[in-house]
Amino acid sequence: MKTTSPDITKQSVSAVKWSALGSIAQYGLSLGAQIVLARILGPENYGLFAMGTIVLTFSNFFSNFGFAWGLIQAQDLVEEDIRFVFTWQLIAGVMVALGLYLLSPFVANYFKEPQVAAIVRWLSLACIFSAITAPASNLLRRNLDFRWINIIQITSYSIGYLGIGIPLAYQGAGVWSLVAAWLTQSFSMMVMTFSRHPHAIKPLFWYSGSKVMSEVGITVFVTNLCNWLLNNMDRIFLGRFLDSHAVGLYTVGYNLSNTPNNLFIGALQPAFLTAGSRLQSEPDRLRRAYLPVIASVWILIAPLFVFFAMISQNLVGFLYGPAWESSARVLAILALSMPAYITWAMSTPVLWNTGKKHFESLLQLPILAIAGYAFYSFAGKGIVIVTLIAAGLLFTRSIVITTAACRQVNVSALDLLPFAVRGIVMMGLAAAGTFSGIKLGVLVNIYIDTKFNMIAPTFAGININFIPVTPYLLPLLGGVFFGGIILLAAIFVSPRLLGDEVIDMLGRFSPRLHQALSENTKSGSKQLAAVGK
């Protein structure tokens, strides 16, 4: 049996730490930039851009094709692998960019928005940038160099959106400020990624290992295409049956729920996939690595999304203003489904690392057919109906893929039951604390309005209507404070709620926290024993 390096666990923990720190920084940065841009541009401009990016992300699957993922999965990597991948990535990127440019009028006709044609033509350049970036980016992932991956992502986003997008939006560039920001970010990422991990670029069209690399590429392509359709079908049909305003409202709610979701997936999945590829011949170790991850998602992360869903109305109102209030319903519904999304995302590496790569796409094909029928039939009913369908699909996909992954590493329903029970208890505590805090904030608002006969729309001659503080801020602060306090109290007063798997997982990243939780657990056990006597 092939043994694994003793440094894998240490490298994986370090990778997750850097991924987590980078994801948090990106979340804060992107949230701030998107709020500013949304307030300046409004739902219609956001909807136009969302239509363009739907087509772009679809095209990226053809330009990337999936060859670059083979650089992560390969047990032994040679220069020919890299040259072959880069050659075909670049060819595919150029061809897709050209096709996108030529087909842009048809895309505009589909969405019934003439402006989309010019947006798609310019965004087609990003296909080439993305294709060139992919090999070097996945070589960094293979080396677990997530520190530099995050530095590059944060820097390129800052250049694109803070340096280009927001200034252009203030100058009245409208949707083109978003287009310019996207292209600048893509180009910056390409330059910095290749500079960090330069590699051979001499063309290589075929070699002895081409068949293996091509098989991985085709599998990744089919899988990603299936996932893309399931993740974007909602906006594809919304754009067809409604208008850019509705797409803009839906997109903001979707992005708000999906950004923290991407934070967790971005922090956990790449390191788990890379480390798991080195455990392909050790299923028992892969099982022991998988269980704490699922436990952490259900017991620690799921309550945070419940908390997020409950503050959605006040959060959207405070951050974006009254014009975006309809996005709050989208945010609340999708936030509740995001733990299922993360569970699915953390189960797919198990399939990939147990020789069942093709399962992810095959198992989701029936779901894809059902999704197409549902969205086509009900997209015209409004964004709330579309959101409910999208949430139902996330739960269905999670159940199907997680069940398949569990079978591969001999995990039974009884193994998962304690995680589910603890997760439900933690989610209930999060909901109760957040609800109480919001209601307290509402009561304080009523008292202030009654006592001071409402706050005037001007103060010292300055118009303050653009600051949505009065109806939203106090309920938001109350929900955040009490929801957070209840969760922290539950963790530190009764750490047994977390279970050994989660405590051990936390211990990998913070020995001090692990020690504190372990001591509290032992103290609680002694008290129970004393009561029993």
Structure token digits, residue 172: 């009245």
Owner of token pair 């539950």: 490
Determine the Cα–Cα distance for residues 395 and 400; give it in Å rounded to an integer.
9
- Report DSSP letters for 295-361, one per residue: HHIIIIIHHHHHHHHHTHHHHHHHHH-GGGTTHHHHHHHHHHHHHHHHHHHHHHHHHHTTT-TTHHH
Amino acid at 217: G
How far is CA 57 from each of CA 75, 224, 421, rounded to the nearest angstrom? 29, 11, 38
CA 297, chain centre distance (Å) = 14
- Report DSSP letters for 246-283, one per residue: HHHHHHHHHHHHHHHHHHHHHHHHHHHHHHHHTTTT-H
Amino acid at 279: L
Kindly report the pTM of this predicted structure.
0.72
Residue 463 sits at φ, ψ, to 5 deg, of -70, 125
Asked if residues 256 and 12 have their Cβ atoms less than 8 Å apart, the reply is no
pLDDT per residue of the chain (533 residues) written in tens, 0 to 9:
344 444 545 555 555 566 666 667 777 787 788 888 888 888 888 788 888 877 777 766 665 555 666 666 666 777 888 888 888 888 888 988 898 899 999 988 988 888 889 999 998 998 899 889 988 888 888 777 778 888 898 899 999 999 999 999 999 888 899 999 999 999 999 999 999 989 888 888 877 766 766 676 677 777 777 777 887 888 888 888 888 888 888 988 888 888 777 766 765 655 555 554 555 556 677 788 888 889 989 998 999 999 999 999 999 988 888 888 889 999 999 999 999 999 988 888 888 777 777 787 888 889 989 999 999 999 888 899 999 999 999 999 999 999 999 998 889 999 999 999 999 999 999 999 999 999 999 888 887 777 665 444 444 444 444 444 458 888 999 999 999 999 889 888 888 888 888 887 777 666 666 566 666 665 544 443 443 44
Determine the Cα–Cα distance for residues 68 and 424; give it in Å rounded to an integer.
39
DSSP 197: S
- pLDDT attached to residue 75: 64
- Residue 134's contacts (CB-CB under 8 Å, 6 or more residues apart) are 64, 67, 68, 85, 89
Determine the Cα–Cα distance for residues 481 and 276; give it in Å rounded to an integer.
38
Which H helix or E strand runs over 284?
A: helix 283-296
- Residue 481's contacts (CB-CB under 8 Å, 6 or more residues apart) are 437
Determine the Cα–Cα distance for residues 119 and 50; give it in Å rounded to an integer.
10
First to last CA, the chain: 50
Structure token digits, residue 218: 């085709």
Determine the Cα–Cα distance for residues 268 and 16; give it in Å rounded to an integer.
6
User: What is the SS3 assignment for 462?
Assistant: strand
Residues paired with 459 in a beta bridge: 462
